[in-house]
Amino acid sequence: MSETKPNAQKHEFKAEIKQLLEILVHSLYTSREIFLREIISNASDALDKLRFESTRGAEIIDSELPLDISILFDEKNNTITVKDSGIGMTQEELINNIGTIAKSGSSEFIKQLADSASDANNIIGKFGVGFYSVFMVAKEVIIKTKSFKKEEPAIEWSSDGLGDYEISEIKDEIKRGTTIEIHLKDDAKEFAEKYRIESIIKKHSNFISFPIYLENEKVNTISAIWREPKSNITKEQYNEFYKYLTYDSEEPLDVIHISIDAPIQFNSVLFIPKKNQDFFGYNRENYGLDLYVRRVLIQHKNKDLLPEYLGFIKGVVDSEDLPLNISRETLQENIVFTKISNHITSQVFSYLTKLAKDEPEKYKELWKEHNRVFKLGYSDYANMDKYSELLRFNSSFNEKAEDLVSLEEYVSRFKEGQNEIYYAVGNSREAIATDPHLEIFKNKGLEVLYLYDPIDEFVVSSIRKYKEFDFKSVDHIDFNKIDKLKNEKEKTSSLEELSKDDSKQFDSLLAKIKGILGDRVVEVKESQRLSDSAACVVSPDEGFSSSMQKILRMSNKDLTEQKKIFEINKDHKLTRNLLKVFKADSNDEFIKDTVEQLYESALLLEGSLIDPHKLASRINKMLDQSSDWYTSIKKI
Ligand code: ADP
Ligand code: MG
């Protein structure tokens, strides 16, 4: 540890940094090399910022310095030093930037690491953990930096990464930029070896667009690959670039390389990650494409080049036709920028459409990982047709929950006379399979889309139609319209038709049921749609479907419960028995209990039973009674 300098000030690290340091210091051995990636990436950012300032005409000291990064190492003394001629830092910037955790990356990283059971090692590798990762390998770090701004003194910062750091002014002349001198821990000597350093740079920092010199020898070889003709680039080069860009350890699922010369010139390399990188769901801001103008990085993660719902796509865009001194704020108003962005969006749609058609299995993989993001596109009316073609759902015609159908396929299987697309909402295939509303669809041989994801119903309600066909929830259909379609399976009932007199009695029973349920239902009527179940509830024509109501209820607590129609299946054994009891004594308590139970079970099945207590105690009462009957029948 160096001696405290006479004019040095001591500062304590903020709590969250201590917490981060604690995690990093104890992190597993295999991730440690990424400290160099982080330090080099900061150096490259500092150079990008300097280039950005100079294209804007800012006054810059030492303007003759080449923009590069150099790395020195000393095996004897166990040090590695990374030096850049970038933007540098003033004392205030040094305290603000290095003394607190930048919004990018690190703070979310600790938060997630703290409450996730995931393997820290793996996460550290994937994540941009920033400057502090250096303390995985360092027992002391000394930063010397001089800002590009005139008249700012050079500053030295030093710390052992334990609790505090020291800052002092440097009296000697030094040039613009930042030098980071890392004194390695005894167990991290490997990072002062040439071969090791070189291989880390090749692995993680090969695409840095400034030269990196290792003891005066240039190590990074690959330049802006997006500017090269496609045929010059190997799959390995794409993969390597992708890993550099995203920190993903896996290869991408696919790459889209776009080179356009007219009417606007731009190049772009886009990647589809194999895995959804939104690993914890907090990463919502972590999307966007890197925007370059003539190789100068103008903005990291620009959010306007692609719509948010295509944000799972990673990559870079570089144009000759944008002005170099364009400000990030005015980008969106720039016509060339808008044209580039429209062009990229349409290229991505063409790519996805082609993939879905030519390589359905690969498209399925993409869909599985990225559908949650993609579905957010339901309000992009400009691209609605293409968007709809790319949607996938599980359906009653599939064998497994993992299988998918497109709307095009669904429509191609329309039954004679069908002109609507039917869907059912539920948590799983099993849950939907028990939905009594589906019985008539089975009898008619009609395909039903199964919507498992809460956003799915928003999607179909927003897009409303596919081609000229409306989406209809199975609990919210024009019954007569479906009833007119041909039956594929005849409704079979072993029960005899009701006599005229019994039919009348059945009508009175329906009135009785309405009396029992009172205002809770709009109407009680004989069901045409049921074959296996005794009863179900349906939404009246003018209302919302049940699942939509559930969503609305979640977002707006005051929404009054929408009343349903209660339908009874006349040709069900339970109904027939109920009719017998009714004929014998229309006020028998058994009728009331049974009706309440049927009604609440129907609500339960479609997920709208709010309080299950009564249902449970009624079941217990009925079990009590049936156990009596059972033992008496069995004579035990
Ligand atoms: P991030 O790079 O995600 O912002 P880091 O922890 O890596 O987070 O770095 C924190 C900040 O410190 C950077 O945003 C930058 O402002 C500053 N910084 C780090 N290294 C340098 C450097 N070599 N030159 C200039 N500024 C730097
Ligand atoms: Mg960084």
CATH number of the domain enclosing 324: 3.30.230.80
Which residue has a Cα nearest atom 11 of ligand 1? 97
In a domain, 67, yes or no: yes
In a domain, 114, yes or no: yes
Which residue has a Cα nearest atom 17 of ligand 1? 97
- The answer on pLDDT for 405 being more than 50 is yes
Please tell me the distance between residue 21's alpha carbon and the centre of ligand 2 in angstroms: 15
Whether residue 176 sits in one domain with residue 253: no
Atom of ligand 1 nearest to the CA of 38: 7
H-type alpha helices, 301-428:
335-358, 360-374, 384-390, 407-412
Give the end of a domain, one of 218, 251, 275: 218
Token pair belonging to 584: 């014998």
What local confidence, expressed as pLDDT, does residue 213 receive?
97
Query: Which residue, among 585, 590, 566, has the nearest Cα to 517 in the 3D structure?
Result: 566
Rounded to the nearest 5°, which phi and psi values hold at 400? -125, 160
Whether residue 46 sits in one domain with residue 158: yes
- The answer on pLDDT for 557 being more than 80 is no
In a domain, 106, yes or no: yes
In a domain, 243, yes or no: yes
Pocket test for ligand 1, best of 20, 44, 45 (most atoms within 8 A of CB): 45
Please tell me the distance between residue 42's alpha carbon and the centre of ligand 2 in angstroms: 5
What is the pLDDT averaged over residues 132-151? 94
What local confidence, expressed as pLDDT, does residue 112 receive?
63
Band of the pLDDT at 488, cuts 50, 70, 90? confident
Which residue has a Cα nearest atom 20 of ligand 1? 42
Whether residue 357 sits in one domain with residue 229: yes
What is the pLDDT averaged over residues 164-183? 94
Band of the pLDDT at 582, cuts 50, 70, 90? very high
The pocket of ion ligand 2, defined by CB under 5 A, consists of 42, 130
> In CATH, what number is assigned to the domain containing residue 147?
3.30.565.10
Whether residue 246 sits in one domain with residue 148: no
In a domain, 102, yes or no: yes
Band of the pLDDT at 602, cuts 50, 70, 90? very high
What local confidence, expressed as pLDDT, does residue 1 receive?
45
In a domain, 292, yes or no: yes
pLDDT per residue over 618-635, tens digit each?
Answer: 999 999 999 999 999 998
- The answer on pLDDT for 17 being more than 80 is no
pLDDT per residue over 93-118, tens digit each?
Answer: 998 888 665 544 556 666 666 655 55
Give the end of a domain, one of 293, 326, 361: 361
Q: Where are the beta strands (DSSP E) in 155-253?
A: 155-159, 164-169, 177-184, 212-214, 217-218
What local confidence, expressed as pLDDT, does residue 492 receive?
66
> Is the dihedral angle over the CA atoms 421, 422, 423, 429 positive or is it negative?
negative
- The answer on pLDDT for 558 being more than 60 is no
Whether residue 155 sits in one domain with residue 119: yes
What is the value of pTM for the model shown?
0.74
In a domain, 620, yes or no: no
Number of domains in the chain: 2
Q: Which residues line ligand 1 (CB under 6 A)?
A: 38, 42-43, 45-46, 84, 86-89, 97-98, 102, 104-106, 128, 130-131, 178
What local confidence, expressed as pLDDT, does residue 176 receive?
98
Whether residue 241 sits in one domain with residue 154: no
Which residue has a Cα nearest atom 8 of ligand 1? 130
Shortest-distance ligand to the CA of residue 105:
1
What local confidence, expressed as pLDDT, does residue 423 receive?
96
Whether residue 170 sits in one domain with residue 239: no
Please tell me the distance between residue 131's alpha carbon and the centre of ligand 1 in angstroms: 7
In a domain, 63, yes or no: yes
Tell me 226's DSSP state.
G
Domain extent, residue 121, equals 9-218
Please tell me the distance between residue 299's alpha carbon and the centre of ligand 1 in angstroms: 16
Whether residue 230 sits in one domain with residue 151: no
- The answer on pLDDT for 382 being more than 70 is yes
Give the end of a domain, one of 361, 379, 413: 361
What local confidence, expressed as pLDDT, does residue 331 receive?
86
Whether residue 46 sits in one domain with residue 25: yes
**389's torsion region: left (phi>0), alpha (psi -120 to 50) or beta?**
alpha
What is the pLDDT averaged over residues 427-434? 89
pLDDT per residue over 304-344, tens digit each?
Answer: 999 999 999 999 999 989 987 777 778 888 999 999 999 99
- The answer on pLDDT for 57 being more than 80 is yes
Whether residue 147 sits in one domain with residue 47: yes
Which residue has a Cα nearest atom 1 of ligand 1? 130
Whether residue 188 sits in one domain with residue 242: no
Atom of ligand 1 nearest to the CA of 180: 23
Please tell me the distance between residue 83's alpha carbon and the centre of ligand 1 in angstroms: 13
Whether residue 286 sits in one domain with residue 248: yes
What is the pLDDT averaged over residues 68-85? 97
